[in-house]
């Protein structure tokens, strides 16, 4: 996900996803794994910015009907190849989320994992995520907070791209807050996400 105003353009993601080693590991995000039981069994789950597919593939293995969208054609092709080789069925789409035709009330769940956006895009895309949920649908989000700037375990180095609990409460106003907290956790997600980290965890239910 990027625009010419964002510090992380498509070319960066393409270069990152060309690396032979999966730089964010192969396992699903641990917070998503823990919270996924909140999703409706076999429900339709949307995963924005899924890169080479580690979270979307895992959700598909759990029996969910998964739709992923990522900006990077390199990441998308890698995700499609891995899915084919694993015999997984899911929709893997290449698109820019800022211009994507967001649906309304279509998904049972959204999993936004370390999708960091500049304010002008976040203010557009976070509400779109919520509108894409059916009533009662669940949104799970994990992101780095500004405190992450003191650590070397990954994430943006621009404070404007980092989130707080208060910011997410405002972005998803109108949804029921099931969980929302800023915590420090040890993450182990490949070479780009590894070590003690400052994150915000959130679970919201669409009304």
Q: Which domain holds residue 91?
A: 10-205
Answer yes or no: is 51 within a domain: yes
- Per-residue pLDDT tens over the stretch 106-115: 999 999 999 9
CATH of the domain at 148: 3.40.50.150
Answer yes or no: is 1 within a domain: no
Contacts of residue 92, defined as CB under 8 A and 6 or more positions apart, other chains included, come to: 50, 53, 56, 68, 70, 76, 79, 80, 83
Q: Which residues of the chain have pLDDT under 70?
A: 1-8
Answer yes or no: is 73 within a domain: yes
CB atoms within 10 A of CB 178: 14
Record the pTM. 0.94
Answer yes or no: is 14 within a domain: yes
- Per-residue pLDDT tens over the stretch 121-140: 999 999 999 999 999 999 99
DSSP 38: G
What is the count of structural domains for the chain?
A: 1
DSSP 28: P
DSSP 29: P
């Amino acid at each position: 996900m990027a625009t010419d105003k964002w510090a992380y353009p498509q070319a960066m993601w393409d270069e990152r996803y060309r690396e032979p080693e999966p730089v964010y590991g192969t396992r699903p995000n641990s917070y998503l794994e823990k919270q996924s039981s909140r999703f409706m069994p076999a429900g339709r789950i949307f995963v924005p910015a899924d890169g080479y597919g580690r979270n979307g593939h895992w959700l598909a293995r759990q029996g969910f009907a998964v739709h992923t969208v990522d900006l990077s054609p390199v990441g998308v092709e890698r995700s499609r190849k891995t899915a084919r080789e694993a015999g997984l069925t899911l929709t893997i789409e290449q698109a820019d989320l800022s211009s994507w035709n967001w649906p309304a009330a279509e998904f049972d769940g959204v999993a936004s994992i370390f999708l960091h956006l500049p304010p002008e895009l976040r203010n557009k895309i976070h509400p779109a995520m919520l509108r894409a949920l059916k009533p009662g649908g669940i949104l799970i989000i994990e992101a780095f907070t500004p405190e992450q700037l003191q650590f070397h375990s990954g994430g943006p180095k621009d404070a404007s791209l980092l989130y707080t609990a208060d910011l997410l409460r405002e972005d998803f106003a109108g949804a029921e807050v099931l969980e929302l907290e800023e915590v420090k956790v040890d993450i182990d997600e490949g070479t780009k996400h590894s070590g003690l980290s400052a994150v915000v965890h959130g679970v919201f239910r669409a009304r």
